[in-house]
Amino acid sequence: MNKIFENSTILVTGGTGSFGHQVVKRLLEEFHPKEIIIFSRDEKKQFDMRNLYKNLNLKFIIGDVRDRNSVFSAMKGVDYVFHAAALKQVPSCEFFPYEAVRTNIIGAENVLDAAEENNVKKVVVLSTDKAVYPINAMGISKAMMEKLMLAKARSSKSKTVFCGVRYGNVMYSRGSVIPYFIDLIKKDQPLTMTHPDMTRYLLPLPVAIELVLFALAHGENGDILVRKSPASTVKDLADAMVEIFNHKAGTKVIGIREGEKMHETLVTQEELMKSESYDLYYRVKNLSTIDYDKYFTEGSASEFTKEGYTSENTQRLSLQETKELVLSLEEIKEVLKIGI
């Protein structure tokens, strides 16, 4: 990684979010690149981030991935790109789907085109389990972002490598359920859950950063890298929070909402046929040679795997294991230290 980042310029789209803060911290502390560019549209968050790090190697550009000109301008001289800018909240995208199209699809195309035009060495796009068998607008828009990345990897005449990562719920990221539970605990209200048996992957943010850095070091054109992750039921996660904070108001079931699944999938049955499995990762290979004449008369696999890699069949955390994972989060340690 030191060799990769030496004298390199890295652009992080949406860089003032949870991912941006964590990856910038890692890059500045461990790898010392020549320059990190934060490209985002919120000047207040950029102001706060600038004051937090006070590092001359950190550069801030106000812009929006929806604006093609601002993306192309920011991409000049960049070596590596982490594309994290997105609308990520399921309800927001569900009620305003065209906004998801503009940011997650058109915005992604602008980033990919600008990287190709400027001969960036590698682009890593950040995707989600909700892009797999998508049933909501956010997942559909992220699935299309993946397809755009794959199309660019197949067709680009530049030397740029285009690859991506997928991960499940990043714990304590902005807008995720654990900070929401903290807010309910502060208000002495019941912790709301949609269905007790619903399962979700649980991934601490530093582990998500490791996945992205792994993709940057090892991702090949068209690859989608997936971190193998444990999961818990929604009930166990809520109960863990109740026990940790001795929350007297308990929990409350509100029912499954529009656009939600009982279980999430990170790798489909179809993708497992073309995946490489490592101890901690799956590499979904997407650039096998396609002969379109043979496509109509010949196949390449005898059968599908029995099922994909899902939050139902991955390692299931017990209530105690879920509690221990939550307690390992630095944000939870900080909340416990200062008190609710």
Enter the tokens of residue 298. 């010949």
For residues 244 and 324, the answer to whether their CB atoms sit within 8 Å is no
Match 């790109």 to its residue by tokens: 81
Question: How far apart are alpha carbons 119 and 40 in whole angstroms?
Answer: 21
| Strand 80-83 versus strand 122-128 pairing type | parallel
CA 120 to chain centre: 21
**CA gap 53, 3 in Å, rounded:** 23
Longest dimension (CA), the chain: 66
Catalytic residue among 25, 44, 59, 130: 130
Token pair, residue 24, equals 């910038």
Give me the helices (H) in 230-313, please.
Answer: 234-244, 269-272, 292-295
CA–CA gap between residue 41 and residue 29 (Å, rounded): 25
Which stretch of DSSP H or E encloses residue 216? helix 205-218
Q: Is position 130 annotated as part of the catalytic site? A: yes
Q: What amino acid positions are annotated as catalytic residues?
A: 130
